[in-house]
Every structure is written in structure tokens, then in C-alpha cells.
Amino acid sequence: MSNKLRAALTEYWPFLIPVLLLLPGLGAFAYPGSGAAFSDAALTHYPNALFLQTALRHGEVPLWSPQILSGFPFVAHPYSGLWYPPYWLALLLPLPMGLNVVLALHILLGGVGMYCFLRQQGYGRMPAVLGGLAFQAAPRIFGHIGAGHLMLVMAVCLTPWLLWASGQRRVPAGMLLALMAAADPRWALYAAALWGAWLLWQRRLRVLLEQTALAAVLALPALWQYWQYGQLSTRASLTASEVLEFSLPPASLLGLLLPQWGGAHEWVVYPGIVLLLLVMLLRPWQPAVRFWLAVVALAVLAALGSSLPGATWLAELPGISQLRIPPRALLLASFAWAVLAAAALQQLAAAHSPRRALRLLHAGVLALLVSFGVLALMQGAALWRPALFAAALVLAAWLAQERWSSGNKLVLALSALVLVDLLVASASLVRFRPADEVLAEGEELAASLAADEDTFRIYSPDYSLPQQTAALYGLELASGVDPLQLQSYVNALAAAGGYAVTGYSVVQPPLQAAVAPDADLLGQLNVKYIVAAQALEASGLELLQDAPYVYRNLQYRPRAWVEQGDAIQAATVLDMQANRMTLHAYGPGRLVLAEVQYPGWHVLVDRQPAEFAMPDSVLRTVALPAGEHEIELYFMPDAVRFGLPVAALAWLVCIASLLRRRA
């Protein structure tokens, strides 16, 4: 073992502790501790990673995905991981293990990043270690892990490095901000606000402007694509009430004192009761302390959303609709709590007062006993383990009083108390379901449908065919669960599915929606099978089985056809890949493809550039002259064609500059 590696392990080993919470679930899917039946890890991240992994094995970088909602721009989706190089490491391992390994590495990276940032700000080793651990083990972060928000957590873990980069000249902060935007553009807005406030507080406006411009160039294709997709999606028409729908209820502020054992992940506010007591010892007149206290206050106010006067007006501002869930701002509070904990421990250690540390240690134990007692009354016998944990804390405090006389040891005991408090609270917010169990849901049905070698889609109005199982068997869905959906397609699917579009929903069709399928319109979307939990009353459907109910659509159309007056003639699909499709058809007539139209799709007829006949329609259509034709469609958005070379050149310049500085 080299001396550098040995030194790194000696300095950074404490940050492996919170990662241990994830080890039991490396081969599983993370689900909310509340018992919720859905997780983005299974619903979205696993299908996307599996699709990307499969495409790369076939030598193709996919820009378009046919998996759900009759296709969507994979290159523009913030959960695709396509623009975030560290995400690609997950593809080297079996899924979902690869995703969990990369997530665990980011949790480790987040703790080390916070430690480095705090050390850069002049904190001692022990306070910096506590700050790093408090950030890693924050219940708010583990709540998002349980919900399966993998890309969000990865981006959050880069936040300390963004602030660290602003305090040195080797690594441009713009590179970190660009990486963050590639991982999750929405979190990048929050992180940029924190970083910008930090630089303005230090009166470094020039650095802020220069590095923001650099980040915009480095992340140009990702931001360009995401902006375009957002403008065409259902998010563009969100009302103020929909933006504020998940605002933090004021009563949830009680969570500052009581851990939310298995509670709703979006409303987790618990910073740790011992950490809170520790922060209360701070001298608030210090400028740095005031800054981070202000971050906590502003984050909590932003999370309250609809409870604040003027919130409706703010929710209507351009770009705010992309930040649809106000409590996400509490992740900034988690960052600030970690810094404040380090500052408090720094002051405590500098005081050289074992008695003061001992009093705080005892107060922390008492506070935990009270909070666990209240929760035991609220939740019954479900908290017997925390009760045993609290009893062990009492014993630890007694031993500290009897045997320890060193202030440093008491500070260490207090830090351990903070960490254990956070770990116990965070562990309750995540449960792991074995991958075999999750992927077995609907497996028999998926296998039987996959045996049909035809090219078709499936419509499931009530999620009877799980998205992750469909992805495993290579089945394409006309319905789907996703936070980004093309508005034009949502309207078309609503007409075909026979339900009303009443507002924003991440599920299409919305859960509990009354549906009356139109077999002909579904057939035009290439829907051959309909899978539902309840019997459907509709003509043009043939019942194949029940429990769940599986119907064959008698009005099913092929993936492409030529309309010649009232006559319809199937086109032959010669080749179909993620970014390219080749067909053979006879004209004259109008070639219609059961494929969603989106900016960036181009068409060649007999190797000559052509135009789509109806560019504003939901499906792609091409006018064909008389005769036999070969038609090729390919997807190459302007953001990739023009933005990628600019960003690639900027990255090469930045990397060359870094290498030159190291040499």
C-alpha cells in the first residue's frame, strides 16, 4: 500500500460509516421506509440504465428511447444519466447493483467533499469530520434514497465540492456546476443559488459570473435539451397550485425535534436532536454562523411554499415550475446544518471545558429519550429498538461522567452521539426489496407477451404491468410513469384511452382515472395489447385472460403504414434502432409512423432529405410520391449537433489546463 493511499485511508475512513447503511441493499432496490409501493429506482432509473447498458453493448449511444409513452428524447431526460460520466460506471456491473455502487460512492464523495470544504475554511479535523458525517447521514438525503431519487442524491453530493472549488484555483468551480447540471439540472439551480449567495457574501461577483459562464458552456447540450423538452412537456403548463402542491405543512416543523420514522420523504426536516442542541451553543454574531443560519431559515421558508403570503405569485415566475416540490429546498438546510454542527464543535473544542461538553452530552441523551418516548406513544411498540438504543446512550453518558476527564474525549463522544442519532433516523427512511422480488411482479405476463415476435406496444391504464418488468423483457409501453411527458402526446393518449386530462400527473393515465379505451385510436399508437386490473367495456377488444385482464386490440395497426385514400397498406420495417429507423413502402400516399414527433427527427426518402408532411401532428408522417421507396429516419437534435462540439472543446481545454497545473 502506497504512503498516499495509507494517508488517505487514515484521514477519510470515518466517511465509510454512513455508507454501511447502503451495503445490505447493494443488490436490491431502495424503497421508502413508509412502506410506499413505488420507488423511482425501480420505476425509472433501472429501466433507463438497462436500456443504456443494452444499447452500448450493441455499439450505440441512444439519444431516443422507445420504452414508455410511445417514445421520449432520452438525450433530454434528466434521469437518463447520459450526460453524467460517473453514472456510466454503473453500467459495468449487473443492475441494480451498479446503480447502488455508484450511489454509495457518491455518499462517500459527499462526506469527503464536506470535510475538505470545512478544512479549507479553517475548521479543525474533528469538527470537519463531524460536518462531513452530518451531511452524509442527513435524514433528508436518506429519505430521497428511499424514494429512489438516485440522480438527485448524486448531484446533492457534489454540492460541497462546488463550494470547495471556489476557494482554490486548481479546479474551476464551473466544471463542478456543469457536472451537477448533467446529473440533475433542477438540483443545479438550488446548488447554484447557494454557491452564488456564498460568493456574493464574500464579495466575489467576478468569480461568480466567470464560473457561471463556464458552466453554461460545459453543460450546453444537456441544458439546451432539457430546456427544449421542458417547454414541450406538461410541466410548461403547471399552475401555481400544482407547483405548490407538495409544500411542507407547517405542522411538519415539529419534525425539527422528532425524527420522522419511516415518514413521507418529501417532508423530512429532522436535523438530529443532538445536532440541534449543539448548534444552539453557537455564538450567532459570528458572520459565517449568521450566513448558514440564514440558509436554514430561507430553506425552511421556501419549503413551506403555499403557507407563505405571495407564494402563488412566486410560483408563476418563469423557471419555478421546474422546481415543482418546494421541500426539496430542505436539502440546502441539510448542508447548512452540517456546517453549523462543525462550527459549534469547533467552538466547543476551543473552550477546553470538559464540563460544558459533558453537560451537552447528557442533554443530548435526555433529548433523545424524550423524542423516542413521544414517538413510542404515537406509534406503539414499533420503536422498541430505538428505546434500547436510548438506554445504551444513558449507559454511555454515565461511563463518560465516571471515567473520562479529557475534553477531547467528550467531544468525540458528543460527535458519536450526533452520528448515531442521524444513522438511526436515516435507516428508518429506507427499506430494501430484493431485485428478484421487484422484477418478479408481472413477470409471467411479461414473458408471455414478449413471446409475440411482432412489433407492438402495450397500454396499461392502471399500472397492471410494472414498468421495470416491461423493461426487463424489452416490452414497449404506450402508457407510463415519468415526471416529464410531452404535452401533445398526453393529449393524444387521453383521447385514445378515454379519460380526461385534468391537470399535471406523473402517471399516464392518472391513477384512479375513469377510462373508456378507443380501440382504433390506440391501434394508431401501435397498441396491440391492453392490460388492466379491472374488466374494460369497449368494442374492438378481444379478451385473452383475466386477473389481470389482457385484451388483444382488434384495431391494432403496424408500426408504420401508408394511407392511400381510405386504404391502408403496411410498410415494412427493415431496421429499427434507438436513433434510426429504416422502412420500405410504396406510394403514392402518406406514410404514417406510430412514433412520436419531436424536434431533432429527420427523414430521408430514397436517400434524399425530405420534410415531415405534418410537423405539428403527434405522429410522424411523410408524403410519398408514386413508386417504391426506402425511407430512413434518424434522430440528431440541434443541441447534440451544434452544442456538443462546443462543450467538448471547452472540456478539453479545461482538462488540459488542469493537467498543465499538475505538471
Q: pLDDT tens for residues 109-143? A: 999 999 999 999 999 999 999 999 999 999 999 99
Identify whether residues 450 and 425 lie together within a single domain. Answer: no
Report pLDDT for 359.
Answer: 62
pLDDT higher for 311 or 353?
311
Q: What is the mean pLDDT of residues 57-84?
A: 94
Flag whether pLDDT at 393 surpasses 80: no
> How do the residues of the chain divide into helix, strand and coil, expressed in percent and rounded to 5?
55, 15, 30
Domain membership flag for residue 659: no
Flag whether pLDDT at 199 surpasses 90: yes
Q: What is the mean pLDDT of residues 133-156?
A: 95
What is the number of structural domains in the chain?
3
Phi, psi dihedrals of residue 116, rounded to the nearest 5°: -65, -40
Report the alpha-carbon distance of residue 315 to residue 521 in Å, rounded: 36
Beta carbons of 390 and 417 less than 8 angstroms apart: no
Q: What is the mean pLDDT of residues 1-13?
A: 73
Beta carbons of 629 and 587 less than 8 angstroms apart: yes
Report pLDDT for 279.
Answer: 85
Domain membership flag for residue 642: no
SS3 620: strand
Phi, psi dihedrals of residue 455, rounded to the nearest 5°: -95, 120
Report pLDDT for 39.
Answer: 93
Flag whether pLDDT at 171 surpasses 80: yes
Identify whether residues 457 and 382 lie together within a single domain. Answer: no
pLDDT higher for 635 or 394?
635
Report the alpha-carbon distance of residue 387 to residue 35 in Å, rounded: 22
Where residue 396 falls among pLDDT bands split at 50, 70, 90?
low
Flag whether pLDDT at 587 surpasses 60: yes
Q: What is the mean pLDDT of residues 563-592?
A: 92
Mark which of 502, 526, 553 sits at the end of a domain: 553
Flag whether pLDDT at 281 surpasses 90: no
Q: What type of residue is 323?
A: L
Domain membership flag for residue 646: no
Identify whether residues 419 and 464 lie together within a single domain. Answer: no
Mark which of 397, 413, 432 sits at the end of a domain: 432
| Full DSSP string of 482-515 | -S--BHHHHHHHHHHHT----S--SEESPTT---
pLDDT higher for 208 or 662?
208
Identify whether residues 354 and 451 lie together within a single domain. Answer: no
Flag whether pLDDT at 384 surpasses 60: no
Q: What is the mean pLDDT of residues 16-20?
A: 93
Q: Domain containing 83: what range? A: 3-432
Domain membership flag for residue 297: yes
Identify whether residues 513 and 410 lie together within a single domain. Answer: no
Flag whether pLDDT at 356 surpasses 70: no
Flag whether pLDDT at 512 surpasses 80: no
Q: What is the mean pLDDT of residues 596-619?
A: 92
Q: What is the mean pLDDT of residues 210-239?
A: 92
Domain membership flag for residue 124: yes
Flag whether pLDDT at 620 surpasses 50: yes
Report pLDDT for 217.
Answer: 96
Domain membership flag for residue 655: no
Mark which of 506, 529, 553 sits at the end of a domain: 553
Mean pLDDT computed over every residue of the chain? 88
Where residue 414 falls among pLDDT bands split at 50, 70, 90?
confident
Where residue 420 falls among pLDDT bands split at 50, 70, 90?
confident
Report the alpha-carbon distance of residue 475 to residue 450 in Å, rounded: 7
Flag whether pLDDT at 395 surpasses 70: no
Identify whether residues 173 and 292 lie together within a single domain. Answer: yes
Using only the alpha carbons of the chain, give its radius of gyration: 27
Flag whether pLDDT at 405 surpasses 50: no
What burial class does residue 325 get, using C-beta atoms within 10 Å of its C-beta: 0-12 exposed, 13-18 middle, 19+ buried? middle
Highest mean pLDDT among 25-39, 253-267, 331-345, 407-421: 331-345
Flag whether pLDDT at 82 surpasses 60: yes
Identify whether residues 606 and 585 lie together within a single domain. Answer: yes
Beta carbons of 412 and 127 less than 8 angstroms apart: no
Q: What is the mean pLDDT of residues 254-265?
A: 76
Identify whether residues 256 and 343 lie together within a single domain. Answer: yes
| Full DSSP string of 301-348 | HHHHGGGSTTHHHHHTSTTGGGS--GGGGHHHHHHHHHHHHHHHHHHH
Cell readout for 388 is 434500547
Q: What is the pLDDT of residues 492-504, one digit of tens each?
A: 999 999 998 888 8
Q: What is the pLDDT of residues 436-461, one digit of tens each?
A: 999 999 999 999 999 999 999 999 99
Where residue 320 falls among pLDDT bands split at 50, 70, 90?
confident
Flag whether pLDDT at 596 surpasses 90: yes
Answer yes or no: pTM beyond 0.85.
yes
Report pLDDT for 402.
Answer: 45
Identify whether residues 524 and 416 lie together within a single domain. Answer: no
Cell readout for 534 is 379491472
Q: What is the mean pLDDT of residues 640-660?
A: 91
Report pLDDT for 632.
Answer: 96
Percent of the chain with pLDDT over 70: 89
The HSE-up count of residue 438 (CA atoms within 13 Å, CB side) is 26
Domain membership flag for residue 651: no
Identify whether residues 216 and 358 lie together within a single domain. Answer: yes
Percent of the chain with pLDDT over 90: 64
Domain membership flag for residue 647: no
Where residue 65 falls among pLDDT bands split at 50, 70, 90?
very high
Flag whether pLDDT at 427 surpasses 50: yes
Identify whether residues 199 and 162 lie together within a single domain. Answer: yes
Where residue 404 falls among pLDDT bands split at 50, 70, 90?
very low
What burial class does residue 566 get, using C-beta atoms within 10 Å of its C-beta: 0-12 exposed, 13-18 middle, 19+ buried? exposed
Identify whether residues 542 and 416 lie together within a single domain. Answer: no
Q: What is the mean pLDDT of residues 361-387?
A: 56
